[in-house]
């Protein structure tokens, strides 16, 4: 479940994803990454970010994640994520980042309303795939990463 600049956690596919993780948490111990750094691309008020982090954690717990088996943490508490993100971004090809889903979605939305293609698209959104890769590499996440990412 991702943090967005809207009321409450996003529902739909994310609810199914949380339910899957709830079942998985009963089978084995794992760490659940709490997205906080990437939320800064859309949530600009610190109090809103803190509230949304709590809302998402509460939703995960309400949907059945086992707190005895799941470790919640804020990605922003791990400075190495920032360091590795910078190093990886120095090697990441701009052409590959142009294909990132979040960037392409924002770009297409701007084009649909005849705005400058990059209007209101910040570097954090553009560089998000590098942040994801850094977090997964550092924390040994076994989640499969597709060729696009």
Model confidence pLDDT, tens digit, residues 9-31? 454 445 556 666 666 566 555 55
Contact between residue 124 and residue 40 where contact means Cβ atoms under 8 Å apart = yes
Residue 73's nearest CA partner among 60, 89, 64, 91 is 60
Return the residue matching tokens 């959104």.
125
Residue 15's nearest CA partner among 57, 51, 63 is 63
CATH class of 1-76: alpha beta
Distance CA 119, CA 18 (A): 33
Domain with CATH 3.40.50.620 in the chain: 1-76
Distance CA 21, CA 65 (A): 7
Residue 89's pLDDT is what?
95
* Core vs surface per residue 86-106: b (16+ CB within 10 A) or e: eebbeeeeeeeeeebebbeeb
pLDDT tens per residue, the chain (149 residues)?
Answer: 444 444 444 544 455 566 666 665 665 555 555 556 767 777 777 777 778 778 877 887 887 777 787 777 777 788 898 999 999 999 999 999 999 988 999 999 999 999 999 998 988 889 989 988 888 888 765 554 444 44
């Amino acid at each position: 479940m991702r943090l967005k600049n809207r009321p409450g956690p996003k529902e739909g596919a994310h609810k199914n994803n949380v339910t899957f993780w709830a079942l998985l948490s009963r089978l084995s111990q794992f760490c659940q990454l709490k997205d906080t750094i990437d939320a800064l691309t859309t949530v600009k008020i610190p109090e809103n970010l803190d509230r949304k982090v709590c809302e998402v954690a509460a939703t995960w717990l309400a949907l059945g994640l086992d707190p005895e088996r799941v470790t919640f943490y804020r990605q922003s508490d791990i400075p190495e994520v920032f360091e590795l993100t910078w190093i990886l971004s120095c090697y990441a090809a701009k052409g590959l980042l142009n294909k990132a889903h979040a960037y392409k979605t924002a770009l297409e939305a701007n084009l649909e309303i005849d705005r400058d293609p990059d209007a209101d698209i910040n570097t954090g959104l553009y560089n998000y795939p590098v942040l994801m890769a850094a977090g997964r590499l550092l924390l040994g996440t076994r989640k499969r990463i597709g060729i696009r990412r």
